[in-house]
C-alpha cells in the first residue's frame, strides 16, 4: 500500500466552512420555528409497551419514541414511569423542532396513558386538546352458545 496524503486546510478555509454551516443551521432553525409551532402527539399505550408519535398538523411524522427504544425491557416497558420517560424524550424532540402547542390523541388501554399526558403538560408543552381514540366494540364478538349440562 502506498503512502496516504493528508490535505490540510488553511485557517481561513476552516473558518469559512464553519460560517457556512452555522448560517445553514440558522436558516433551517428559522424555517422550522416559522412553519411548525403546532403539532400532534399520538399516544399508543398497550399492555406491553408505550409509543408516542410526534406529527405536524397534516399528520406527517416528525419523531417517535417508544419505551423499548429508550432502554426499558420486558414488563417494565408498560409501566407509568416508562411512559413518562418516553414523553420527556418526545418533548425534547418537539423543542428542537420548535413546537409549542400540541393536540394529544390517546389510544389503548395500558397503564402509561395518564402519566404520558401529565408528563407532556409538566414539561412545558401547551396542550390544546386531548382526544381518546381507543377502539371500543359496539356489540363485540358473537357470544358462545349456551352450555347444556
Share of the chain above pLDDT 70, in %: 87
Count of domains observed in the chain: 1
In a domain, 62, yes or no: yes
In a domain, 72, yes or no: yes
Residues in the chain: 149
In a domain, 30, yes or no: no
pTM: 0.71
With 60 as the cut, is the pLDDT of residue 32 above it? no
pLDDT on residue 33:
44
In a domain, 88, yes or no: yes
Contacts of residue 34, Cβ cutoff 8 Å, sequence gap at least 6: none
Tens of pLDDT, residue by residue over 48-79, are 999 999 999 999 999 999 999 999 999 999 99
Residue 112 is part of which domain span?
A: 36-132
In a domain, 137, yes or no: no
CATH of the domain at 96: 3.30.420.80
Residue 69's closest CA among 92, 91, 45, 52? 52
User: What is the C-alpha to C-alpha distance for residues 102 and 124, in angstroms, rounded to an integer?
Assistant: 11
In a domain, 94, yes or no: yes
DSSP state of 134: -
With 90 as the cut, is the pLDDT of residue 131 above it? yes
Per the model's pLDDT, the better-predicted residue between 16 and 110 turns out to be 110
In a domain, 20, yes or no: no
In a domain, 89, yes or no: yes
Dump the DSSP string for 46-82.
Answer: -SS-EEEEEE-TT--EEEEEEHHHHT--GGGGGSHHH
Amino acid at each position: 500500500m502506498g503512502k496516504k496524503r493528508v490535505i490540510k486546510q488553511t485557517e481561513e478555509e476552516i473558518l469559512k466552512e464553519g460560517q457556512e454551516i452555522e448560517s445553514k443551521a440558522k436558516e433551517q432553525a428559522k424555517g422550522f420555528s416559522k412553519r411548525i409551532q403546532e403539532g400532534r402527539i399520538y399516544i399508543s399505550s398497550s399492555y406491553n409497551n408505550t409509543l408516542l408519535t410526534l406529527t405536524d398538523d397534516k399528520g406527517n411524522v416528525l419523531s417517535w419514541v417508544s419505551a423499548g427504544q429508550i432502554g426499558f425491557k420486558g414488563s417494565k416497558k408498560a409501566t407509568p414511569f416508562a411512559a413518562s420517560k418516553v414523553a420527556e424524550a418526545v418533548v425534547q424532540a418537539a423543542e428542537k423542532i420548535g413546537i409549542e402547542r400540541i393536540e394529544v390523541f390517546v389510544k389503548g388501554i395500558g397503564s402509561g396513558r395518564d402519566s404520558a399526558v401529565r408528563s407532556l403538560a409538566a414539561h412545558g408543552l401547551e396542550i390544546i386538546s386531548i382526544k381518546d381514540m381507543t377502539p371500543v366494540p359496539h356489540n363485540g364478538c358473537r357470544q358462545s352458545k349456551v352450555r347444556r349440562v
